[in-house]
């Protein structure tokens, strides 16, 4: 559009004031500047917009038609600016977070609760999925923040470690094994193992560790849900490979017991991930800062 927005703002003010002097006072510019703007606009549009009268100016038929559109357009722009200001001030906004069900319930829940209480106008959406899925959603811009286990490809990501996870092996308290015995990697591999399926990053990590030590894992049962894995281990179906941080309650209650081992699988980190060099929304930035500050206090 060749006509500048400022000319339309002057036009709107003159139309509403019905007087060039009054419009100039409202706009804090000179009368001559207002008159010149109107002349320029009429020249651009090749249409007479105002007719002079004893009290000032009035809109022509063409001017009245244009005024309705200009008033609507400027009103929408002002509304957009107001909405944008509100998002920066966190009076409104939308935040989409991706995490696995386990990470959401075991780690994120208290942060989400506290953040929502501080910023109730921010609409929070949680997208559930495993690490590879949620990182894909982050890369495609479909979520603002993702919580994933030690991302392999970090060149395009900003990551902030949240907590470490440790892989252990557990069984029911009455399972037919010696909990006082210190098991080797080979002995663990010979148990009827209950593991998550190969879509889970923790399962792939476990397999990689065993393969690195010359052993292949052949689980008795493969599951898609951590909760079912714990349930089956709890009723004696076998030895489950689990994340220690996610079975604390079961270990403390005695529902499950940890097998002692002569090896320690290196810990992994669950990281808060955002896209590198991509500006975050005000809500996403505030949430990330909120989590970081909370972790520092802990």
Residue 55: CB atoms within 10 Å: 8
Last residue of a domain, which of 59, 88, 117?
88
DSSP letters, 106-121, are IIIHHHHHHHHHH-TT
End-to-end CA distance of the chain: 55
CA distance 258 to 240: 10
> Would you tell me the crossing angle of helices 20-27 and 31-45 to the nearest 10 degrees?
110
pLDDT: is 197 or 83 the higher one? 197
CATH at 9: 1.10.10.10
Phi, psi for residue 130 in degrees, rounded to 5: -80, 170
Q: Taking the model in full, what pTM does it have?
A: 0.66
Residue 1 has pLDDT above 50, yes or no: no
The reply to whether 175 and 160 lie within a common domain is no
Mean per-residue pLDDT for 131-135? 86
Predicted confidence band of residue 249 (pLDDT cuts 50, 70, 90): very high
Element (H, E) at 53: strand 50-53
Cβ neighbors of 198 (< 8 A, separation 6 or more) are 204, 207, 222
CATH at 178: 3.40.190.10
Total residue length of the chain: 298
Predicted confidence band of residue 153 (pLDDT cuts 50, 70, 90): low
Which pLDDT belongs to residue 106?
A: 87
Last residue of a domain, which of 50, 73, 88?
88
Which pLDDT belongs to residue 2?
A: 44
Q: Quickly tell me which residue has 């148990």 as its tokens.
A: 191
Which pLDDT belongs to residue 121?
A: 82
Query: What would the pLDDT profile of 105-116 be if each residue is shown by its tens digit?
Result: 889 999 999 998
Which pLDDT belongs to residue 215?
A: 94
Which pLDDT belongs to residue 241?
A: 95
Predicted confidence band of residue 130 (pLDDT cuts 50, 70, 90): confident
Query: What would the pLDDT profile of 198-215 be if each residue is shown by its tens digit?
Result: 888 889 899 999 999 999
* Beta pairing partners, 51: 58
Work out whether the CA dihedral 140, 145, 146, 150 comes out positive or negative.
Answer: positive
Last residue of a domain, which of 33, 67, 88?
88
Domain extent at residue 115: 93-164+269-297
CA distance 92 to 86: 6
Cβ neighbors of 140 (< 8 A, separation 6 or more) are none
CA distance 241 to 230: 9
The reply to whether 176 and 243 lie within a common domain is yes
Radius of gyration of the chain (CA): 32
Mean per-residue pLDDT for 251-270? 94
Residue 173 has pLDDT above 80, yes or no: yes
Predicted confidence band of residue 54 (pLDDT cuts 50, 70, 90): confident
pLDDT over 70, % of the chain: 93
Domain count, the chain: 3
β-pairing, 50-53 with 93-99?
A: unpaired
Residue 172 has pLDDT above 70, yes or no: yes
Which pLDDT belongs to residue 157?
A: 87
- With CA atoms as reference, report the closest residue to 291 among 144, 150, 102, 142: 144
Q: Quickly tell me which residue has 């972790």 as its tokens.
A: 295
CA distance 86 to 266: 45
Residue 49: CB atoms within 10 Å: 21
- With CA atoms as reference, report the closest residue to 61 among 71, 50, 52: 50
């Amino acid at each position: 559009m060749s006509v500048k927005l400022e000319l339309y703002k002057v036009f709107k003010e003159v139309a509403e004031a019905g007087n060039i002097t009054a419009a100039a006072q409202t706009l804090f510019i000179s009368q001559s500047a207002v008159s010149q703007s109107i002349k320029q606009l009429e020249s651009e549009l090749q249409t007479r917009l105002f007719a002079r009268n004893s009290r000032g100016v009035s809109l022509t038929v063409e001017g009245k038609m244009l005024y309705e559109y200009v008033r609507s357009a400027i009103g929408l722009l002002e509304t957009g600016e107001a909405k944008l200001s509100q998002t920066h001030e966190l009076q409104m906004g939308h935040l989409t977070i991706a995490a696995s069900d386990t990470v959401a319930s075991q780690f994120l829940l208290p942060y989400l609760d506290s953040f929502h209480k501080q910023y109730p106008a921010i609409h929070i959406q949680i997208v559930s999925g495993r690490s590879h899925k949620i990182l894909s959603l982050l890369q495609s811009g479909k979520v603002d923040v993702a919580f994933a286990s030690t991302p392999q490809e970090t060149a395009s990501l900003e990551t902030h470690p949240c907590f470490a996870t440790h892989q252990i092996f557990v069984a029911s308290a009455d399972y037919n094994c010696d909990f006082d015995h210190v098991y080797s990697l080979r002995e663990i591999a010979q148990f009827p193992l209950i593991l998550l399926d190969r879509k889970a990053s923790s399962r792939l990590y476990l397999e990689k560790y065993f393969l690195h030590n010359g052993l292949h894992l052949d689980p008795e049962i493969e599951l898609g849900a951590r909760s079912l894995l714990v349930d089956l281990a709890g009723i004696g179906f076998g030895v489950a490979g689990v994340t220690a941080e996610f079975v604390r309650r079961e270990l403390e209650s005695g529902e499950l017991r940890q097998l002692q081992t002569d090896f320690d699988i290196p810990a992994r980190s669950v990281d808060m991930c955002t896209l590198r060099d991509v500006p975050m929304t005000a809500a996403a930035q505030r949430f990330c800062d909120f989590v970081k500050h909370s972790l520092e206090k802990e």
